Structures are given as C-alpha cells and as structure tokens.
Amino acid sequence: SAVISQKPSRDICQRGTSLTIQCQVDSQVTMMFWYRQQPGQSLTLIATANQGSEATYESGFVIDKFPISRPNLTFSTLTVSNLSPEDSSIYLCSVEAQGGETQYFGPGTRLLVL
C-alpha cells in the first residue's frame, strides 16, 4: 500500500479566504482523488486528478471553487476557495493502488471556517 501524507492536518480559516491542501504519496501513482467528508456524513468524491490533464469534477463541484493541481505522479493540491462555514469538512486525498481496484487514503485535513 502507498503511504500518503496531507498538509495541513487541520486549519481554521476566515470566510472569504482560501485554503490549499497538499497531498504527497511515497510512490508514483496515476490516479489521485479528492473527497469531502462533511460533519457526521460519509465521503463524497470531489474530483479525480490524473497527471498531465485537467481534473474531472463530480456533479455539484466546480473548478472555480475547488481548483486542483497535479504537477507530477506523487503530488496534488486541492484549493478550497472563497470559504464559507458550509465548507467546514474533512478533506481527504486518496490514490489508486497498482492494479487499479483499491484506493488508499491520506489522514485527512480538518477545516473549520469561521
């Protein structure tokens, strides 16, 4: 399995600002994913990031609000823009294991927007 780290682990932000979350993997992976877990709820896929191409966003998520970068095969960032209290969530990145059927998750970034 891959070892995945995320920075920051948690943050408190003011509304209207932005937060950029970093996801680093210890091996090269093709597919990286970004999920949101709202308080007390399950995980919802925000977008899929494939190196060298634009991220693919799920219904209800747009690039202007959640811009994603994927500069190489071991790193990705998710920015949550123009923050509002409704963006308070845990944001998790995951990677697709070699073989393709399993995803491994990072520890998550806990965001609180005041």
Partner 1 sequence: AQSVTQLGSHVSVSEGALVLLRCNYSSSVPPYLFWYVQYPNQGLQLLLKYTSAATLVKGINGFEAEFKKSETSFHLTKPSAHMSDAAEYFCAVSVGIRTGANNLFFGTGTRLTVIP
Return the amino acid letter for 47: A
Stretch that binds partner 1, among 12-20, 65-73, 80-88, 103-111 (CB under 8 A): 103-111
| CA separation, residue 40 to residues 43, 64, 88, 93, 101 (Å) | 10, 26, 12, 18, 27
Between 14 and 42, name the residue whose CB sits nearer to partner 1. 42
Stretch that binds partner 1, among 21-29, 65-73, 74-82, 90-98 (CB under 8 A): 90-98
- Do residues 26 and 75 lie in contact, with contact meaning Cβ atoms separated by under 8 Å? no
The residue ranges that bind partner 1 (CB under 8 A) are: 1, 4, 6, 31, 33, 41-45, 48, 56, 92, 94, 96, 99-108, 110
